Chain A
Amino acid sequence: MEKTVNQKAWFLVLPVFLLVAFSAVIPLMTVVNYSVQDTFGDNAFFWAGLEWFEEMLSSDRLWSALGRQVIFSATILVIEVPLGIIIALNMPKKGGWSSFCLVMIALPLLIPWNVVGTIWQLFSRMDIGLLGSALLAMGVEVNPGKDPVAAWVLVVVMDVWHWTSLVALLCYAGLQSIPQAYYQAARIDQASRWSVFRYIELPKMGGVLLIAILLRFMDSFMIYTEPFVLTGGGPGSATTFLSIDLVKMAVGQFDLGPAAAFSIMYFLVILLVCWVFYTVMTTLDKQEER
């Protein structure tokens, strides 16, 4: 079929272009603008070039926040992904119980971040919190305000509590899509429970699992509210992750230049990881087609 050339069609793209420019590109450019300038107040800005970037790249503060961030994301992935799979495997597949379980499992996902932070803040208190006082009664002192280990454990457990459901639900959906004949064939082939998991369930869950990992990685890498409410990034800077640090810098200290440079690098890291995931996913798809 001949394609009709009509340059006026470009106008149809205009609304989207304007919307994206207004909501994303221009705000981002403002950040870029700040990242290459300095000010001494009075709304007077000077060209600073890549100074802020150099400063940020050589700052221990940023590198240690990034280190904590990576450890945190890795920890929660290592816990949440296998745990989510185990929960999904053990959920009832049909009947009234399955609906009940689905609702129960979805509940934590419906709670707003700051409320989750508050719940765990209260929960872990040794004077009035159920968890804190119960552990105290057993002789374990939980003091996230003083003890960095306790603060870390609490933040990780809170994230697991809040988000394992997401992994479990996605895996459950993946499992539900496996036709019954696969399990029957496996029984006839005398496959062990492990083989069924390894050769039927895991490959069929692969796609959703990758999405679950991506979502959990991105979310945990950008986590702000929950640890901010629970520990405030402390004690010291023990649980100060990238976002918390960024907000401290931009809003607390009003260091707009460094914060902008920080933001851009943060953004680039996330973009890079997304790209890696995207590439991995598409190559896997291609393999499937071959």
Chain B
Amino acid sequence: MAKITLSNLAHSYISTPSQESHFALKEMNHVWQDGGAYALLGASGCGKTTLLNVISGLIRPSQGRVLFGERDVTNAPTAERNIAQVFQFPVVYDTMTVRENLAFPLRNRGMDAAYIAARVDKIAQMIGMEANLARKARGLTADAKQKISLGRGMVREDVNAILFDEPLTVIDPHMKWELRTQLKQLHRQFGHTMIYVTHDQTEALTCADKVVVMHEGRVVQMGTPQDLFERPEHTFVGYFIGSPGMNLMPARIEGNVAHVAGARVALSGFYGALQGQVQIGIRPEFVSLGDGRTGGLPARIRRIEDVGRHRILRAETPAGEISAILSETAPPLAGMTHLTFDPARISVFADDWRQSPSGSAVGKAA
């Protein structure tokens, strides 16, 4: 086990990349702590799988280095890195039995038979396949096969890291929960570094201690689920995390006031002159309705979606469509013409990146 360091790492699938858009992975520097559970989250095609394959050694990066602990493994083949990886679609050896499948990585490393048998039994129990150990893997269902793939990934105890590439895509929803919980339990038990690629935020937020959000080949934020929710570093994190995502509105900032489509929105801090395209963002959880007497953004309510625990309100405003989450105790909608935002919860972005206030508004505004 080791911490994984990515140093000046970048990768392009084009042999002579000349511009930034040629890179599937833009230059990055990151340290993945030993024993951490990381979720790599992002839309399809953002470079998640590329990054994973660079770490596992299936792809050699165009530039930069990969370090396991202090050892530079950039040029080391996959086998030498001692890593386990589970792929999106089940990979099983059809002609082998389930038992042989699970034992395969151990046998290739020349472990002794008694150890292999014990280990295989343990893993089989964990993935719930004890009864099928003697069966050929060929005729099993897709989710049974994927469980074998998961099992094969976890069968070695001494791996540096286990990488999961959207492993639960083909699994039934109820089984997903169970496996996810097992993975988490396993992580606590053995303390392997775990990197879990997914485009499903629920999966990412429940599975990992730290979520790494990727967007267009870049790691835009690495943080706890709470960080991502409260302080998104990038507009992408804002609208990708959360359901519905963060509301973003073009704005002009003057000190502690944002002008949004002619309306004044109070901020909790003072901002200096901002360069580029300026936006403010507010999570639907912190948008409330008002009758206009306390100011706010004029809005026309388009529809209400009842999603069980709460209701989602969609409103048309001069600054675009805004979503709000209405709590159970929200006042009746009649007469509500404006939306107000909780100043402490407003994020300010310039050219999509989060800006911090230069001073606190508390006390000065009075």
Interface residues of A (CB under 8 A from B): 179, 181-182, 184-185, 187-192, 195, 199-200, 203-204, 287-290
Residues in B neighbouring A179, C-beta threshold 8 A: 89, 91
B104/A189 in contact, CB under 8 A: yes
B139/A287 in contact, CB under 8 A: yes
B85/A188 in contact, CB under 8 A: yes
B80-122 residues at the A interface, CB under 8 angstroms: 83-85, 87-89, 91, 93-96, 104-105, 108-109
Task: Number of B interface residues at 8 Å Cβ cutoff, please give it.
Answer: 27
A187 CB contact (under 8 Å) in B77, B88, B93: B77
Interface residues of B (CB under 8 A from A): 53, 56-58, 77-79, 83-85, 87-89, 91, 93-96, 104-105, 108-109, 136, 138-139, 149, 152
A191 CB contact (under 8 Å) in B57, B94, B104: B104
Residues in A neighbouring B84, C-beta threshold 8 A: 188
B87/A185 in contact, CB under 8 A: yes
Given contacts A184-B87, A185-B85, A199-B96, contact A190 B138 (CB under 8 A): no
B108 CB contact (under 8 Å) in A189, A204, A288: A189
Residues in A neighbouring B152, C-beta threshold 8 A: 185, 189
- By beta carbon, the residue of chain A nearest B88 is A181
A181/B109 in contact, CB under 8 A: no
What secondary structure prevails in chain A residues at the interface with B? helix
B79 CB contact (under 8 Å) in A185, A187, A200: A187
CA distance A182 to B84 in the complex (A): 14
CA distance A204 to B95 in the complex (A): 10
* 7 residue pairs, one from A and one from B, having the closest CB atoms: A185-B91, A190-B108, A189-B105, A290-B139, A199-B93, A187-B78, A181-B87
A184/B85 in contact, CB under 8 A: yes
Chain A: minimal CB distance from B60 (Å): 13
A184/B105 in contact, CB under 8 A: no
What secondary structure prevails in chain B residues at the interface with A? mixed
**16 additional contacts (CB under 8 A) given A189-B104, A190-B109, A203-B93:** A179-B91, A182-B91, A184-B56, A184-B78, A185-B85, A188-B83, A188-B84, A188-B85, A188-B105, A189-B108, A190-B79, A192-B108, A199-B93, A199-B95, A200-B93, A289-B139
A191/B108 in contact, CB under 8 A: yes
Given contacts A188-B56, A199-B96, contact A288 B83 (CB under 8 A): no
Between B56, B83, B87, the greatest number of chain A beta carbons within 10 A of the residue's beta carbon is seen for B87
CA distance A143 to B108 in the complex (A): 52
CA distance A179 to B165 in the complex (A): 15
CA distance A192 to B105 in the complex (A): 11
Chain B: minimal CB distance from A282 (Å): 15
A181/B108 in contact, CB under 8 A: no
B58 CB contact (under 8 Å) in A187, A287, A289, A290: A187
CA distance A189 to B105 in the complex (A): 5
B78/A188 in contact, CB under 8 A: yes
Between B78, B93, B96, B152, the greatest number of chain A beta carbons within 10 A of the residue's beta carbon is seen for B93
> Can you spell out 25 A-B residue pairs with CB atoms less than 8 angstroms apart?
A181-B87, A181-B88, A182-B91, A184-B56, A184-B58, A184-B78, A184-B85, A185-B87, A185-B149, A185-B152, A187-B58, A187-B79, A188-B83, A189-B105, A190-B79, A190-B105, A191-B104, A192-B108, A199-B93, A199-B95, A203-B93, A203-B95, A288-B138, A288-B139, A290-B139
Chain B: minimal CB distance from A126 (Å): 49
- By beta carbon, the residue of chain A nearest B78 is A187
- By beta carbon, the residue of chain A nearest B165 is A181
Chain B: minimal CB distance from A174 (Å): 13
CA distance A142 to B227 in the complex (A): 83
CA distance A187 to B56 in the complex (A): 10
CA distance A256 to B255 in the complex (A): 109
Chain A: minimal CB distance from B194 (Å): 15
Chain B: minimal CB distance from A288 (Å): 6
B138/A287 in contact, CB under 8 A: yes
Residues in B neighbouring A191, C-beta threshold 8 A: 104, 108
CA distance A189 to B57 in the complex (A): 13
Residues in A neighbouring B91, C-beta threshold 8 A: 179, 181-182, 185
CA distance A49 to B77 in the complex (A): 74
Residues in A neighbouring B77, C-beta threshold 8 A: 187
- By beta carbon, the residue of chain B nearest A196 is B93
